[in-house]
Amino acid sequence: MALRVLVPSTELAEAVRGPGIEVAVWHIDDDESAPPAADVLITERPRHHVNRPRVRDVAGLRHVHLLSIGYEWVLDHLPAGATLSNSRGAVEDATAEHGLALILASLRRLPAAAAQQRERRWAPLWSTSLHGSNVLVLGHGGVGREVCARLEPFRPASIVPVASHARTTGDGVQVHAAPELPGLLPRADVVVVTLPHTPDTEHLVDAAFLARMHDGALLVNIGRGAVVDMDALVAELAAGRLRAALDVTDPEPLPAEHALWDAPGCLVTPHMAGNTAEFVRLASELAAEQVRRLATGRTPLHLVG
């Protein structure tokens, strides 16, 4: 009997198709019709929160493979007995690269320069820089490690990774523990959030956290929007005390009337850090490998949950 697989695009259908594999295209956001029965669902993270429970609508579902690292959104919607895997190894580089772009654009005032270009106004700007800055990276998983690696060539004064528990990595990097944050934050010129959304991380970056950051410091979030208390951040931005560069927000999509759009010193991108052609290639190759493994009774890679 063929393995029935649902994928979100015709391009991915071509990548995973093979002997003993029956492929259908169904997108969790874009298809209003009920999904066909399937053994395997390959899906993106829904753009709209209300569509997350649709995973449960797939009759016969035995495995879900996510085209992302983050998997917290799907845990409450997995059918009993279904296994889950993610695209670890495919998206970390793209996300870290976007994080670095946000840092550089914000520190070097590229949004202000772009505004001057639109006005055809030549007025050289002064800025801060990564060179000589103290950078705190919150989270030392795949994305956090890749962010740290990309920071090194810019010669910051320090790169301080922080995770739930202190440890020294195999290559000698000292990772600090989350309880050390009150003492670490006042020195940080840039704070990069790479954390997933869990009960422990929700609103970790709250008013007290932000208050410990020094005037003019930059908060960058490429993790999950709910890690940051958006009301507290908007208050700091409105006061002109902090800057922010956000690829993720809470809620998403960000409503047109939300204060973040016009907040001073805030750069917003629409959750696009992983959206690169190279990510698509790597994620497609991984999805095809997952399907081949499932079709031949082998254990999928990167099981989570």
Query: From the candidates 63, 224, 236, 243, which is the catalytic residue?
Result: 224
Query: Is residue 125 a contact partner of residue 109, using CB atoms and an 8 Å limit?
Result: yes
3-state secondary structure of 96: helix
> Among residues 252, 258, 289, 302, which one is catalytic?
252
Which residue in 104, 171, 107, 181 sits closest to 137, CA to CA? 181
Please report, for residues 3, 7, 132, 291, the alpha-carbon distance to residue 19 in angstroms, rounded to integers and kept in the order given. Answer: 9, 16, 56, 11
Q: Kindly give the residue spans of alpha helices, DSSP state H, lying in the chain.
A: 10-16, 92-107, 110-118, 142-151, 181-184, 207-212, 230-238, 277-295
224 as an active site residue: the answer is yes
State yes or no: is 167 an active-site residue: no
Does residue 252 have an active-site annotation? yes
DSSP classification of residue 25: E
Among residues 85, 61, 29, the alpha carbon closest in space to that of 289 is found at 85
Instruction: Give how far the C-alpha of residue 83 lies from the chain's centroid of Cα atoms, to the nearest Å.
Output: 22
254: left (phi over 0), alpha (psi -120 to 50) or beta: beta
The two three-digit tokens of residue 100, written as one number: 């670095």
Contact 192/167 with Cβ under 8 angstroms?
no
Task: Report, as residue numbers or ranges, the catalytic residues.
Answer: 224, 252, 271
